[in-house]
Amino acid sequence: MTAKKVRVGFFDFTGCEGCQLAKVSMENELPQILEHIEIVNFREAMSEKSWDMDVAFIEGSITTPACVERINRIRQAAPILVTLGACSTIGGINAIRVGRDLDEIRQEVYGDKRYLFPSLPVMPVSAVVKVDASIYGCPPNPKDVARFLTQFLAGKIPQAPKYPVCIECKLQGNACLLVQGIPCMGVVTRAGCGAWCPSKGQFCYGCRGLIPDANLDALRISFEECGLSQQEIDNKLHLFSGRELEKLS
């Protein structure tokens, strides 16, 4: 279509920047995507930047007072704000520190220079500003990113699935890992990845976060039967969903 290109900015907060790299590595799709969008702000891939944009994609979670200030500035500049990846969408791996004392963590990381590094409890972007849509996953699945972009460019606000990974796992014809005693998080984890990990025999890490009304009591029983200790179960649950669990408790 010949419509005006959508002006897009990419912004990184606290995260590994893997989401942005995952996007840059969509080599086959990028030329076609760039027919429709113009990237005006992307630290990872350009030096000239603009704040005049239609959409902001946010990667990384909110962890410092400076993050809060910056995300508010982006929100004011961007008519549409989309979170990209687990950290910005659900808090992500950074949320493993949920439930621990912040001063203790600052001491552990920065030592006696900790007073130079103010810190906040880890938050997904939606805890600070309004989020219009989200791309889940650590990292986001390129197919899912393409699905999001095409729907978005067609004028829809794309919705992520609310059902668990099992649906996509069974579409692939996979035998259930959890039934085989392998502690797979797929039963409580939001789909959309196409059962990326379990289709390769690797249990789901839960990187897309919990489905609404996830049956965590049943999950604990299943994981115990897999031979996991309470601590190991907690660790698995908190790996990506620390923030969501905090909300539930």
Partner 1 sequence: MKRRGLLSQKAPLFIRHLMNKGQVYGPVKNKTQMPEFAQVDEPSRVVLDYTTTVLPPKRLFQPPEETIYHFSRKDFTVEPAKVSGDGLKILVGLHNYDAEGIACLDYQMARGPADEGWAARRRNWVFVGVSYEPDQHHFSPSVGIGPDHRNGLDLFMDKADGGYNVELLTERGASLLDGFGGWSAPLPETPAPKFHNRLLPMPSDLPHILARSYEHPIWQQEAKRCFSCGSCTMVCPTCYCFDVFDELQLDMESGEKKRHWDSCQVAPFTEVAGGEIFRKETSSRVRHRIYRKFKYITDHYGRPFCIGCGRCIRACPAKISISEVMNNLARKAAG
Residues that bind partner 1 (CB under 8 A): 1, 29, 32-33, 35-36, 146-147, 149-151, 153-154, 161-164, 166-167, 169-176, 178-179, 186-188, 201, 211-215, 217-219, 221-222
Report strand pairing: 55-59 vs 133-135. Answer: unpaired
Shortest Å distance, C-beta 184 to partner 1? 8
Amino acid letter, residue 234: D
- The distance of Cα 204 from the centroid of its chain, to the nearest Å, equals 15
Shortest Å distance, C-beta 100 to partner 1? 29
If the CB atoms of residues 48 and 217 are measured against partner 1, the closer one turns out to be 217
Shortest Å distance, C-beta 245 to partner 1? 17
**CA dist 214 → 29, 80, 183, 186, 217 (Å):** 34, 29, 16, 11, 9
If the CB atoms of residues 75 and 220 are measured against partner 1, the closer one turns out to be 220
Shortest Å distance, C-beta 249 to partner 1? 19
Residue with tokens 């992500």: 92
- The helix (H) or strand (E) run that includes residue 240 is helix 230-248
Shortest Å distance, C-beta 149 to partner 1? 7
If the CB atoms of residues 111 and 155 are measured against partner 1, the closer one turns out to be 155
If the CB atoms of residues 123 and 214 are measured against partner 1, the closer one turns out to be 214
Task: Return phi, psi of residue 219, to 5°.
Answer: -65, -40
184 vs 205: CA distance, rounded Å: 7
